[in-house]
Structure 1
Amino acid sequence: MTSTSDGAAGLSGRVVALMALSCALAVSTIYYHQPLLPLIASSFGVPSTQASLIATLTQLGYAIGLLLIVPLADRQQPRKLASLAVAANAFALLACAAAPSFALLCIASFAVGVTAITAQIIIPTVSGLAPPALRGRTAGILLGGLSAGLLLARTASGFVGAATGWRTVFLAAALVDLGLWAIVARKLPAVSTPTSLGYGALLRSLGRLVREERVLRISAATAFMMFAAFSALWATLAALLAQPPYGFGPAAIGAFGLVALLGIAASPRIGALADRLDARALLLARALALALGFAFIAAGGRGLGWLIAGMVLLDFGNRTGLVANQTRVYALRPEARSRLNTVFMGAYFLGGSAGAALGAYGAHRAGWAGLAATGALLALAAAAINMLSLRAARAAVVDGTS
């Protein structure tokens, strides 16, 4: 096994690029279903709003996979753990493709979420090998890969699903996992495992980290609200766009994923800003961008221009907050980086699951306006948490100097 220092020496730009690609392929599996929800609902004869349960369960499964699997990367070789996760994910995708009922598809989708955590093994491993001055930029590149995965999933699955059916999308995703497995098994840098704690002790240590690290608590809370707001849109977008006045099909709905292109291009720059600027200022900017984005989303039923402008703001806000939070969380305890990531990203995707459910409820009650009200409230809650943390930090400085 190589040491961390050896891994750092081998962290070339090519390796970072391959790992960004791996992040894209890994995370895409939890988003392929989003443009397909109306098709899935129709094939099983369930209401389109009920099909959003698939999105909720997939995000919930992802959060549970983060809690139960990712901490092992502090104890076992990340390369081996990630390879096993990819293999299990491929089997879960095949189960989705073959699901004979909506209930079994929900169960298989949950399994997809649980096993789709490879990117959350890669990101702390590779970011930890980067020099401190470049850690934010490296994280930004890897998160750009995550965003590319969202784009791949939402756009490609819409077109493929419209042409060949939703089951073909899941079958193709399982085949993509074979390529991902080959990359991860050969190219993910080997690093020394920093702890010999048993599995139970690893899980118990998560609670200790939450108690002892105030920055982790604040980051996790804002991440929960941030991704809840973002997921409220994407879990309900397909159902709303399939209805009047738009009546779009899966291919047109999938094309809305192209909005993420601007954010993908900006990810390394956002990461560089996180290296230089105060993370709390970036988080406040993110929360305000999310709230403003939902003001535009409220008018989404009256014109695509409003909707697209809102989606751009939501993508910027979500991306900025994620990079800023992850950069400061990874700096807390190098020996516990995977467990810190578990707490942070677990909160993030629990928020995604909650946001998907709340967004579906808001959209069912009041359409675009209901969705926008739900998302705006979640974004403002994130801003409030951030402002309270600023006040507490300033009070601590005053107390420390008095």
Structure 2
Amino acid sequence: MKNNSGLTRGMAALFAIACGVIVANVYYAQPLLATIAAAFGRPVADLGYLVTLTQLGYAAGFVLIVPLGDVVDRRALVLRLLAANIAALGLIVCSPNYATFAAGCVLVGFTSCSTQILIPMAASLADPASRGRAVGVVMSGLLLGVLLARIVAGYVAYWAGWRAIFAISVAASIAIAVVLAIMLPRNTQAVTSATSATSITPVRYARLLASLAHLMRREPLLVLRSIYGALAFACFSVVWTGLTFVLSHAPYGYDDAQIGLFGIVGVIGALAAHPAGRLIDLGHENKATGAFAATLLISFALLAGGGASLPLLIAGTLLLDVGVQGLHIANQSVIFEIDADARSRIMTAYLASYFLGGAVGSSAAGAAYAAEGWLGVCAAGGALAGTALLVWIGAQSAGKSRLAGQSTASRE
């Protein structure tokens, strides 16, 4: 069924599947850190920084590549990035040493930024009245890719070795590239006809990147939502990086397949995306933001007891993923209303902050676990979640103060 602006349910599903397949490539290594560390003779805690490097590569792709989605044909840009992504995955499969493997991971992260071109493309095609739901559907695919990557990677590595999952991802990425080449609409640049895919000069490109800083200065709402996003994804990365460490040691002692299977818990959190989109379409994005930030904080209270209790670990992880995904949907639905002609650059500013937060979380997980074990990981995450809630409370107070000032001025 097609809506007024051209986004069919089938196309929304395709965007969701494509985002899931692409982003999964960034996260296949996360549940395999202990196995990969052993293969390359590295301490397992050191590989928390491998996740950080990959996420930094992803963030760099947002800053350097995603803004082009506002000035070139998005379809062509997505397909070129997919081709480069496939080549980077091939480098990982054939990596003879840790340095090559790490370089491949960074390149995979960098070229996986095509997901963040597909999301604003879907938002542009969607009817404004259902944009929150459309973003929710696509984001469900994205988060399912993040979480299912852990399950699939664990099982494949258990039966066929850790390199096999990256070989499979090469085939899956080729398949999705072919489907997108056939199905994506053409002529999808979001700018005036004076700019084309062949007219991006170094000067234009430099101005395009400089416009990111202008957007951040001009749009305080974008800054606020970027802060929420960075803190939320830092919480997510702290837990999901730390889980690999805690689950591979006593009292759990899980193997790769069992650690990967734990990702099923997180899949349930992805299901929060669609209801969150509906709630936001009804105009409740602000209240939803506070509720999801509080959910994050509560999750760490449960997770703190999860070092020796599997039920608490499961419950805390479930709440964490609901909070992170719901907050992410709220953020994106709000920022997509800021400027329709700059959606790719707005996405760049937001997601660069988002994944820099994730990189901080991954690094914090390794350092906290090395220093204080699982409780240290939960303390770091709890501090991040508490900060997100305090920022939201502060924003409410500031908003009420502005309203009061406007009211006083009107009476005078």
Report the TM-score when normalising by structure 1.
0.96
Partner of residue 322, structure 2: 316
Change (3 A) 1:192 1:53: closer
Offset at residue 7 of structure 1 (A): 10
Contact 1:22 1:183 in 2 (8 A): no
Partner of residue 336, structure 1: 342
Deviations 1:214-245 (A, max 9, x none): 11000001111110011001112112111111
- What is the SS of the residue equivalent to 2:262? helix
Quick one: which amino acid aligns to residue 77 of structure 1? D
Taking the TM superposition and a 5 Å limit, the aligned residue runs for 1:84-163 are 84-163=80-159
- C-alpha distance in 2, partners of 1:354/1:137? 30
* 1:285 matched to 2:291: yes
Offset at residue 297 of structure 1 (A): 1.1
Offset at residue 30 of structure 1 (A): 0.7
Offset at residue 274 of structure 1 (A): 1.2
* 1:251 matched to 2:257: yes
- C-alpha distance in 1, partners of 2:160/2:253? 20
- C-alpha distance in 2, partners of 1:50/1:272? 41
Offset at residue 364 of structure 1 (A): 1.3
Quick one: which amino acid aligns to residue 287 of structure 2? A
- C-alpha distance in 2, partners of 1:87/1:192? 20
Taking the TM superposition and a 5 Å limit, the aligned residue runs for 1:262-301 are 262-301=268-307
- What is the SS of the residue equivalent to 2:7? coil
Deviations 1:268-302 (A, max 9, x none): 11111111143222121111111111111111111
Partner of residue 75, structure 1: 71
- C-alpha distance in 2, partners of 1:207/1:7? 35
* 1:18 matched to 2:10: no
Taking the TM superposition and a 5 Å limit, the aligned residue runs for 1:190-269 are 190=186, 191-195=188-192, 196=195, 198-269=204-275
- What is the SS of the residue equivalent to 1:299? helix
- C-alpha distance in 2, partners of 1:80/1:259? 36
Contact 2:231 2:385 in 1 (8 A): yes
Quick one: which amino acid aligns to residue 158 of structure 1? G
Partner of residue 186, structure 1: 182
- C-alpha distance in 1, partners of 2:61/2:337? 23
Partner of residue 45, structure 1: 41
Partner of residue 359, structure 1: 365
Contact 1:299 1:368 in 2 (8 A): no
Report the TM-score when normalising by structure 2.
0.94
Higher alpha-carbon deviation: 258-267 or 78-87: 258-267
Deviations 1:95-130 (A, max 9, x none): 111111112211111111000112111111111221
- C-alpha distance in 1, partners of 2:271/2:329? 14
Quick one: which amino acid aligns to residue 190 of structure 2? T
Match of 1:394 among 386, 400, 403: 400
Deviations 1:334-379 (A, max 9, x none): 0000000000011000000010001111111111110100000011
Offset at residue 8 of structure 1 (A): 5.9
- C-alpha distance in 2, partners of 1:282/1:386? 11
- C-alpha distance in 2, partners of 1:264/1:284? 19
Quick one: which amino acid aligns to residue 225 of structure 1? L
- What is the SS of the residue equivalent to 1:116? helix
- C-alpha distance in 2, partners of 1:340/1:333? 8
Quick one: which amino acid aligns to residue 399 of structure 2? A
Identity %: 36
Higher alpha-carbon deviation: 155-164 or 296-305: 296-305
Unaligned runs of at least 5 residues, structure 1? 1-5
What's the RMSD between the two structures over aligned residues?
1.5
- C-alpha distance in 1, partners of 2:94/2:232? 34
Offset at residue 401 of structure 1 (A): 2.2
Unaligned runs of at least 5 residues, structure 2? none
